[in-house]
Amino acid sequence: MPDDSASVPASKPAGTRSASDDSAFAVIFSLSFCHMLNDMMQSMVPAIYPILKESYALDYAQIGLITLAFQCTASMLQPLVGYTTDRRPMPYSLAIGMGFTLCGLVLMSQAASYPVILGAAALIGVGSAVFHPEASRVARLASGGRHGLAQSLFQVGGNTGSAIGPLLAAFIIVPQGQGSIVWFSAAAFVAMSILFAIGRWYAERRREAGGAAQRARKAPPALPLPRNQVALAVAVLVALIFSKTFYTASLTSYYTFYLIHKFEVSVQFAQIALFAFLASLALGTVAGGWIGDKVGRIPIIWFSILGPLPFTLAMPYTGLAATLVLSLVIGLMMSSAFSAILVYAQELMPGRVGMVAGLFFGFSFGLGGLGAGAVGLIADHTSIETVYLICSYLPALGLLTAFLPRQPSRRATA
């Protein structure tokens, strides 16, 4: 299917700047802001795990199932949403997706039983499934050819929100209790109003494209590489996403428990440490997208997936201070990969922006959910320290980067 971003010029004469450029960057930053609000609300779910564990006498496996309920709905629906919107873009689906997140939050705040908590988490996952593919497409449309930068700016909003969520949970939800989650429904209403305006901008751009877009839609762009090479590259990218996501899921979902159990820190200290780790993810995301546009996607993937291996191997044997520092370094490095992987995959399959975004966001969520569930089971049967010892070897899968073909866009240019 055609890439909507084709309607946006890749470059302009030096020194020129149009009103269209300004509106496009406003759209990217607005999407990033809404991504921040969306993921801020979503990240409150794992941040309140200690409260839920104590209130409902949950074990680690049940905690993992909450994450699995959220991640699996997001994982299974995102590729389907992306494929559907590639064929028939739905500009106002962004606001609808935020509505699902709002409903899930309200239900989570009022939940009085474990099954209701699972249902609320699943609703929040549906919100992610609807929001992410189309938002990624709009960010690419507004990028002006700087796809890596646009995706990283969009993604950093989500990472920033994920970092803010645990901090708000530590200082608001932990003292006030589960019911205080509903206070953050105001953020969902703000995001829905902004996303409605973005949907209107997107609909206008599609009308401006007019018949040219319709004619292009009849002939999907050819793959830049042979089909078997594309299939191999996608399989490698999925393995790399697995390595990155499984490890970061173990940190995101269980880092607070690890610090509390191993170093006997307070819940609030552990939440602040989780905030610092998630902030490092946000910083690494911006750096990865910007540098990837300049040096290429494959060097960033090498650095981001394989590079953290010495630090992940060392972390299970270090003290509290070194653990905090190493977690920041690992987060900074690992997070720089996602924008590079996503843009590389979109270059492998031009015209399928939504499907690719849904596929890789979906894999990221789904593998994160499976990782959280598996980590919970292992922790119940061994210890949380054993989990981090096992997961420390995952970055070695970065060696698979050697099987990725040359960057498609650069090959075409050559």
Least confident of 33-42, 60-69, 308-317: 60-69
For residue 400, the SS3 value is: helix
Which token pair is 224?
């830049």
How do the domains of the chain map onto residue ranges?
Answer: 19-413
- Whole-angstrom Cα distance, residue 155 to residue 386? 31
Range of weakest confidence among 154-163, 179-188, 207-216, 369-378 = 207-216
pTM over the 0.85 mark? no
pLDDT at residue 210, as a whole number: 60
Confidence of residue 213 (pLDDT cuts 50, 70, 90): very low
Region 102-113: mean pLDDT is 86
pLDDT at position 207 is: 78
Per-residue pLDDT averaged across 380-405, rounded? 90
Least Cα distance to 127 among 35, 63, 48 occurs for 35
383, with CB counted inside 10 A (0-12, 13-18, 19+), is: middle
Q: How confident is the model at residue 191 (pLDDT cuts 50, 70, 90)?
A: very high
Per-residue model confidence (pLDDT) at position 342:
83
pLDDT at 1 over 70: no
- List the structure tokens of 13: 């004469």
Question: 136 or 213, which is more confident?
Answer: 136
Nearest residue to 20 (alpha-carbon basis) of 150, 143, 153, 152: 143
What's the full length of the chain, in residues? 414
Q: Which CATH number fits domain 19-413: 2.20.25.90, 1.10.357.10, 3.30.200.20, 1.20.1250.20?
A: 1.20.1250.20
pLDDT at residue 216 is higher than 50: no
Task: Give tens-digit pLDDT for 222-266.
Answer: 666 788 888 889 889 988 988 888 888 778 778 888 899 899 998
| Residue 301, pLDDT score | 92
Q: Is the pLDDT of residue 338 over 60?
A: yes
